């Protein structure tokens, strides 16, 4: 049998084993409830008795496969990894996990018989997995020892809120495709026309159906010429000159202003915590890098040689 075939069969078997055992574990969580039986009516219904968890003990080792024991510590490690996806809190689910460990052990014993661990490609993959595990463990250990304090989180929050200070605007607008049309609209407004009615009949923007209403927005949400013109208006006033943007010509009515409301500390706490953790990791990596002796080999760039020109036939084609 070829080496690639020897590798494929154990992997397929392992995938099937994981799928089957995963289904067995999940089945424990989806047991159908027993159909209720008819009971004679009573004056006062009895309170339902809560199902008591079954007491059980997982042995050590949990199984012995061809003389090789599977320690309870390995069972506990797998159960910990499954936490959040499925429960391992009953004799049935524990038995399903033991079955999974048995199947994996059988596959590992078969891999040993086939000496797959001596395959250079598998050796390299195992080394990479070990390196990733160890590197990640260093970072997790360091983060567990440097949890951001509440004071640090509050300080970052205050800094972020200070940067968010500003105004929000509630405005309506009328969008047309020429300056002349915008000036005509402004003349009609000067004569007492209602802004919302003009917006419904003359604006080409999707907000026309709502009388040009744009709702509340921060200046950063609008293109600069529009935002700047809006910020200069007094409440209840409209622009006396058309405002040009890449979308066309605008007549803008400022309806109201308010101070921008930043998110609460609780809303931003997860993002701030993650940001502080990222900074801790980056500082730690820079510290390791600065204290290490590193020699980076130069990458050699090989210029591609132009393909040789196709040889031309010395004899001219005969004209037919």
Res 272 pLDDT > 90? yes
Task: Place 303 in a pLDDT band, splitting at 50, 70 and 90.
Answer: confident
Res 292 pLDDT > 60? yes
Q: pLDDT digits over 46-77, tens only? A: 555 556 677 888 899 999 999 999 999 999 99
Task: Place 38 in a pLDDT band, splitting at 50, 70 and 90.
Answer: very low
Which of 79, 81, 109 is closest to 96 using CA atoms?
Answer: 79
Q: Which pTM was predicted?
A: 0.52
Check residue 245 and report its DSSP letter: E
pLDDT, average across residues 29-50: 49
Q: pLDDT digits over 169-213, tens only? A: 999 999 999 999 999 999 999 999 999 999 999 999 999 999 999
Ordered domains of the chain (ranges, CATH): 1-28+56-127 (no CATH), 150-163+266-286 (no CATH), 166-259 (3.10.50.40)
Q: CA separation (Å) from 24 to 32, 99, 256, 260, 285?
A: 14, 10, 61, 53, 43
Q: Please tell me the predicted confidence (pLDDT) of residue 316.
A: 52
Q: State percent of the chain over pLDDT 70.
A: 79
Alpha carbon distance 298, 112 (integer Å): 40
Check residue 83 and report its DSSP letter: T
Question: Is 157:264 a contact under the CB 8 Å cutoff?
Answer: no
């Amino acid at each position: 049998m070829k080496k690639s075939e020897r590798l494929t069969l154990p992997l397929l078997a392992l995938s099937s084993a994981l799928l089957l055992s995963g289904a067995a574990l999940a089945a424990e969580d989806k047991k159908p409830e027993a159909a209720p039986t008819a009971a004679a009516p009573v004056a006062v219904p009895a309170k339902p008795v809560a199902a008591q968890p079954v007491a059980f003990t997982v042995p050590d080792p949990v199984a012995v496969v061809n003389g090789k024991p599977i320690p309870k510590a390995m069972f506990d490690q797998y159960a910990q990894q499954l936490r959040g996806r499925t429960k391992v809190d009953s004799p049935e689910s524990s038995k399903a996990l033991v079955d999974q460990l048995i199947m994996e052990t059988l596959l590992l014993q078969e891999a040993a018989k086939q000496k797959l661990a001596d395959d250079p490609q598998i050796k390299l993959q195992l080394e990479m997995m070990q390196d990733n595990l160890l590197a990640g463990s260093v970072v997790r250990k360091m983060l567990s020892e440097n949890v951001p304090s509440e004071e640090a989180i509050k300080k970052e929050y205050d800094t972020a809120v200070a940067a968010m200070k500003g105004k929000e605007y509630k405005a309506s607008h009328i969008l047309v495709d020429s300056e002349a049309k915008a000036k005509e609209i402004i003349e009609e407004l000067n004569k007492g026309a209602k802004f919302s009615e003009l917006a419904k009949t003359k604006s080409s923007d999707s907000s026309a159906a709502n009388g040009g209403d744009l709702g509340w927005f921060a200046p950063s949400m609008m293109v600069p010429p529009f935002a700047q013109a809006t910020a200069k208006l007094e409440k209840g006033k409209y622009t006396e000159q058309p405002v040009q943007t890449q979308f066309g010509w605008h007549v803008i009515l400022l309806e109201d202003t308010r101070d921008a409301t930043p998110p609460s500390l609780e809303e931003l706490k997860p993002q701030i915590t993650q940001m502080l953790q990222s900074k801790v990791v980056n500082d730690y990596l820079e510290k390791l890098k600065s204290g290490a002796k590193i020699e980076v080999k130069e990458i050699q760039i090989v210029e591609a040689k132009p393909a040789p020109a196709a040889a031309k036939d010395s004899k001219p084609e005969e004209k037919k």
